[in-house]
Amino acid sequence: MHPLVSVVIPTFNAASFIVETIDSVLKQTYQPIEIIIVDDGSTDNTLELVENKYKDGVIRIGQTNSGPSAARNRGINESSGKYIAFLDADDLWLPGKIASQVAVMEKHSDVGLLCGDMVDFSENGEESQSHFQKHGLGESYFGDSLFIIDAFRKIYNNNFISTPTVMVRRSYLNNTKLFPLEFRFSEDYLLWLDLARISGAAYQTNVYTRRRKHAKNLTNDTGINVQIRPKVLDQINRNHGDYLMQLGIDIKQRYAEAWFQIGYYRLYKLGQFNVASDFSKSLKYKLNWRSFFYACTSAVGLSRFAVWLKWFLGRRGCHDV
């Protein structure tokens, strides 16, 4: 008897996509699969569509809007599978995804986290280069043809794991706090770090996941992603500060970069000029000429000129300064 796999799909106003997404799970070559839909307070007819089309074989759970972490955690807590996979309500799997991943997990009992490659596709069906190809991820980076060597460090340095490609082993997941509820961005990154610390991690280069790109993508909100980084680092430091020290990783460098990116985003993307404090916070963690320059120019009002110059050179077709 094959082990049960639970698929957790959080939804929020996903009526345009949810049927195609669920059908991509039902088309998997592997059985048995338990599908759990957690509707996170949709105001459209997402849940009604699911209830009308899938009478059996799909567990439907409704809750007030609480964010993706709460929805995924609810699905995990209601699930029964030995392995758990996550799929967003607008993304798709190709038929061999679950079978391929279960084969790896059954063969390697120490692997608690398994991820894979994916492609983005637009509303007209056009596909991008795969995620791993685009970022040069493969055996030379991971250190092995299957296992991610020094996984915690690699994930800390570069969050290359996309949630819809993931399968996790319940026995290891039970030893974490699941997805942190206080985050609506980077919550998956924090869980992958927790799992990489206590279990083996592996990857596959097969492309079994297609991520839909559209205007409502939560991950499109670059501003929130940038501005939440210090809080994410605070959480990492609380959970793994001692382990970072053991690995010789200096988290201050990441704080310095995070505060620089916040100041730069506010200055050039939002047109805000009271950013000297952001660059000063970057300098507090690590001395670097970029933050020093921007902190000084912002303090004396030269940032307005810098923004104008960047705009002017852009109009003239020049490169950024």
CATH number at residue 100: 3.90.550.10
Residue 317 has pLDDT above 80, yes or no: no
Domain count, the chain: 2
Residue carrying structure tokens 């569509």: 49
Per-residue tokens: 117: 């490659």
Residue 316 has pLDDT above 60, yes or no: no
Phi and psi torsions of 177, nearest 5°: -95, 15
Mean pLDDT to the nearest integer, 199-211: 97
Domain that holds residue 296: 250-315
240 domain-assigned: no
pLDDT tens figures, 105-140: 999 999 999 999 999 998 887 899 999 999 999 999
Phi and psi torsions of 194, nearest 5°: -60, -45
218 DSSP 8-state letter: G
Per-residue tokens: 66: 């609480």
The reply to whether 254 and 215 lie within a common domain is no
pTM value?
0.89
Residue 22 has pLDDT above 70, yes or no: yes
Residue 160 has pLDDT above 80, yes or no: yes
Residue 33 CA to residue 145 CA, distance in Å, equals 28
Q: How many angstroms separate the first and last alpha carbons of the chain?
A: 62
125-134, Cβ contacts within 8 angstroms, sequence gap of 24 or more = 127/210, 130/207, 131/160, 131/162, 132/160, 132/205
Residue 7 CA to residue 84 CA, distance in Å, equals 6
Q: In the prediction, which pLDDT does 246 show?
A: 97
User: Alpha helix (H) ranges present in 178-268?
Assistant: 187-198, 222-227, 229-246, 251-268
Question: How far is C-alpha 121 from the geometric centre of its chain's CA atoms?
Answer: 17
Residue 79 CA to residue 70 CA, distance in Å, equals 14
Q: Which residues pair with 92 in a beta bridge?
A: 210
The reply to whether 30 and 116 lie within a common domain is yes
The reply to whether 41 and 109 lie within a common domain is yes
Q: How confident is residue 217, by pLDDT bands cut at 50, 70 and 90?
A: low
The reply to whether 21 and 170 lie within a common domain is yes
101 domain-assigned: yes
pLDDT tens figures, 254-277: 999 999 999 988 887 787 777 888
- In this structure, the chain runs to a length of 321
Per-residue tokens: 122: 């637009």
Q: How confident is residue 73, by pLDDT bands cut at 50, 70 and 90?
A: very high
Per-residue tokens: 133: 């190809």
Amino acid at 64: T
Residue 57 has pLDDT above 50, yes or no: yes
Q: In the prediction, which pLDDT does 220 show?
A: 52
The reply to whether 115 and 21 lie within a common domain is yes
Q: Are 5 and 79 in contact (CB under 8 A)?
A: no
235 domain-assigned: no
pLDDT tens figures, 274-313: 788 898 899 999 888 888 777 777 765 555 555 555 555 5
The reply to whether 75 and 197 lie within a common domain is yes
What Rg do the C-alpha atoms of the chain give, in angstroms? 22
The reply to whether 83 and 171 lie within a common domain is yes
Domain boundary among 181, 198, 220: 220
